[in-house]
Chains A and B, each alone.
Chain A
Amino acid sequence: MSMILNFFRDAYLNIKRNLLMSMASVISVMAALIIVGVIAIIAMNVTFIVDEVESNLEMKIYMADDQPEASVEEIGSRIQANAHVTELAFVSKDEALDEFASWFGKNEQLLQGYAEQGNPLPSSYVIKVDNAENLDQIYKEFINIEGVEDIVYGQEYVSALLKFNKMINTVSIVVVLILSIISLFTIYNTIKLTVFARRGDIDIMKYVGAGKLYIKMPFILEGSMLGVLGALVAVLLLRNIYAMVLGSLKLGTVMPLSASLAPFGLVIGPISYWFLLYGFIIGAVGSLISVSKFLRT
């Protein structure tokens, strides 16, 4: 127990001794995470909107008119059997006509002609799917089936949205990678200074036969403290920024635009969690590389 306390005390003393470089490390992690955070917030919002749109996205599968009811039902059960289909509703010819009619309201006489000639509207299955990416596959599976007349969904709209979502995700991965390397490098150099300043101590520990982990621990601790500290500042700033963005959108407009943005908790929760973990790992890995390089033997 006292050994662990000693590790923490040493790490704290080292940070104090290397205040300037330590601050540079913290700021580097912080800056990296703020940039990553802004991109992550945009990406999360895009994903949120895509999800929102997706869960409301309907696909209409129109039945051919000239088939027995049993065959329509059979197609229905086949659709139901598809793993991606989350909701399924049948709209009969009559219901389709009623719905069509309701759009015209009082001008029912316009429809009289139809009633006399026989209902021209096809029956259909209206389905919802788990993920917009699967719409295309479902389309391909059912379009060629005997008895299916046509399948309609917002093809162009969906594919544009998916493309945008993918692009944002790719950009954020690239940015995260680049900034991680920069932060890692800064922490690596900070810890290198500490290692250099304490090379005498390291020599002594080495020669009295201290285990490698025992020697490395204070440095790893110091690095991860710096990383976590940077992450903490970044998280606090991002919290305030996002709260401000949501707040100003709510106040400024009659129809609250923020209603379509991802809610505060949904965004800041995972960001806090992942960023602190990220800061810890970047700090630990950066310092581990640094001290290991010095402690070859």
Chain B
Amino acid sequence: MIKFEQVYKQYKGNEQCALEDINVFIDRGEFVFLVGPSGAGKSTFLNLILKDFDPTRGTVYVDDVDLSTVKGNTVQRMRRRMGVVFQEFKLLEGKTVYENIGFAMEVLRRDKKTIQRRVMRVLQLVGLENAAAKYPQELSGGERQRVAIARAIINGPDILICDEPTGNLDPRTSLGIMKLLENINKLGTTIVMATHDKPVVDAFKKRVIILERGHLIGDRKGGYFY
């Protein structure tokens, strides 16, 4: 599903590589934690999967497609197969919960009926069926993250990319979000999640990939935080 082959990423103006010689294979249906101290290169790893930029050296494959060869509209088509969740939720403030989620389908020019049906269903899945008409400002952090997750999965992505989705949440709320993600994973979506959250990683016993200063220093099945 996702494969990194001798991947290096060096940002302009930085001497140090953000990622160095990364070799990883993530299979369909896996749930992978990406851990490591701040600046280790976790976000860079995720951004490469999203094709925010190409690696300086090496190759990133998604479904055997070399991402650096993907150009133009195909980039958008590629991204439609992925969902993204961020630490800071990134909801549109002027739009209701319903609109925020529906927006991701509107962009793909889906018709109103389909949008309505799917939004209501996904709201149910994330446990927010009563919040459709509310605005993000009226929601708690955990609820906002649920909206963001709903938006990320509304188009039925094959891969869900999460960059510290519990970073702004208290432990109990984090647990709820993690259970939700685990459910989504069970429905077949591959999940790659960068996190600092030791209790979460320890509790869920998934595959853990450990980065430090750009190097991959550990990769354990059912592992614990380093």
Partner of B76, one of A13, A200, A211: A211
B34 touches A (CB below 8 Å): no
A208→B75 contact, CB < 8 A: no
Partner of A207, one of B50, B77, B108: B50
Complex alpha-carbon distance, A214 and B105, angstroms: 13
Count B-side interface residues using an 8 Å CB cutoff: 25
Residues in B136-172 with C-beta less than 8 Å from chain A: 151, 155
What's the least CB distance linking A209 to chain B, in Å? 3
Q: Using Cβ atoms and an 8 Å threshold, which residues of chain A touch B82?
A: 207
Whether A209 touches B79, Cβ cut-off 8 Å, given contacts A297-B51, A297-B52, A297-B53, is: yes
B125 touches A (CB below 8 Å): no
B107→A209 contact, CB < 8 A: yes
Residues in A184-208 with C-beta less than 8 Å from chain B: 200-201, 203-208
Residues in A108-137 with C-beta less than 8 Å from chain B: none
Complex alpha-carbon distance, A208 and B104, angstroms: 6
A200→B90 contact, CB < 8 A: yes
Complex alpha-carbon distance, A183 and B41, angstroms: 41
Complex alpha-carbon distance, A214 and B94, angstroms: 19
Q: Using Cβ atoms and an 8 Å threshold, which residues of chain A touch B84?
A: 207
A250 touches B (CB below 8 Å): no
B80 touches A (CB below 8 Å): yes
A210 touches B (CB below 8 Å): yes
Complex alpha-carbon distance, A208 and B84, angstroms: 8
Partner of A13, one of B53, B78, B94: B94
B103→A208 contact, CB < 8 A: yes
Q: Mark A6-27, 1 if CB is under 8 A from B, else 0.
A: 0000000100000000000000
A3, A201, A207: residue with the most chain B Cβ atoms closer than 10 Å: A207
A166 touches B (CB below 8 Å): no
Chain B residue with Cβ nearest A9: B94
Count A-side interface residues using an 8 Å CB cutoff: 16
Q: Using Cβ atoms and an 8 Å threshold, which residues of chain A touch B108?
A: 208-210
Chain B residue with Cβ nearest A211: B76
Chain B residue with Cβ nearest A205: B107
A208→B90 contact, CB < 8 A: no
Q: Using Cβ atoms and an 8 Å threshold, which residues of chain A touch B65?
A: none
Residues in B69-111 with C-beta less than 8 Å from chain A: 73, 75-80, 82-84, 88, 90, 92, 94, 103-104, 106-108
Partner of A209, one of B80, B90, B92, B94: B80
B50, B51, B79, B151: residue with the most chain A Cβ atoms closer than 10 Å: B79
Complex alpha-carbon distance, A277 and B82, angstroms: 41
Query: 16 A-B Cβ contacts within 8 A?
Result: A3-B106, A13-B94, A200-B90, A201-B92, A203-B90, A204-B90, A205-B107, A206-B79, A207-B82, A208-B79, A208-B103, A208-B108, A208-B151, A209-B80, A297-B51, A297-B53
Q: Which 4 A-B residue pairs are closest in the complex by CB-CB distance?
A: A209-B80, A210-B107, A209-B79, A208-B104
